């Protein structure tokens, strides 16, 4: 993420003198969204709900519907309110799953298991 932001900043500096329209209408919105994602991604446990937010992606999951958590996994498609490439996949309801990357995976999982101890953990 930091590399992408740095790359976009270099492109902004280089292309500003050539074509300022590209900078203002394409690169700055992309850079703004990435920074927004960087500073506005978080996960919260409130009662029996797991709340997640990452820029425009936000929602909640009832922790009692979580069936399995797969550690150190990545997802190629689906909902991914995450900043890291290695995180956890939370499987809930019958077919739903979501990818998250909390800073401390083990602490995050133990907090979820306090609400629903029957969750299966897979590595």
Note the pTM of the prediction, 2 decimals. 0.75
Indicate the SS3 state at residue 83: coil
What does the pLDDT read at residue 18? 67
Cα(106)–Cα(118) distance, rounded to whole angstroms? Answer: 16
Residue 53: predicted pLDDT? 95
pLDDT of the residue at 25: 75
Structure token pair of residue 42: 């978080």
Residue 38 phi/psi, 5° resolution? -60, -45
Range picked from 32-46, 63-77, 109-123 for highest mean pLDDT: 109-123
pLDDT at 22: 67
Q: What Å distances lie between residue 123 and 50, 55, 68, 82, 100, CA to CA?
A: 21, 28, 11, 19, 15
CA gap 103, 108 in Å, rounded? 8
What's the confidence (pLDDT) of residue 29? 83
pLDDT digits (tens, 9 = 90+) for 50-97: 999 998 899 999 999 999 999 987 766 677 888 777 899 999 998 999
């Amino acid at each position: 993420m930091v590399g992408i932001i740095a790359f976009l900043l270099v492109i902004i500096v280089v292309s500003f003198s050539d074509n300022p329209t590209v900078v203002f209408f394409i690169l700055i919105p992309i850079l703004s969204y990435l920074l927004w994602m960087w500073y506005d991604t978080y996960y919260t446990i409130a009662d029996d709900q797991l709340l997640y937010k990452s820029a425009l992606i936000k929602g909640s999951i009832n922790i009692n519907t979580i069936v399995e958590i797969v550690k150190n996994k990545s997802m190629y498609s689906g909902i991914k309110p995450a900043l890291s490439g290695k995180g956890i996949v939370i499987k809930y309801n019958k077919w739903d799953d979501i990818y998250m990357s909390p800073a401390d995976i083990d602490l995050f999982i133990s907090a979820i298991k306090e609400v629903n101890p029957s969750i299966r953990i897979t590595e």
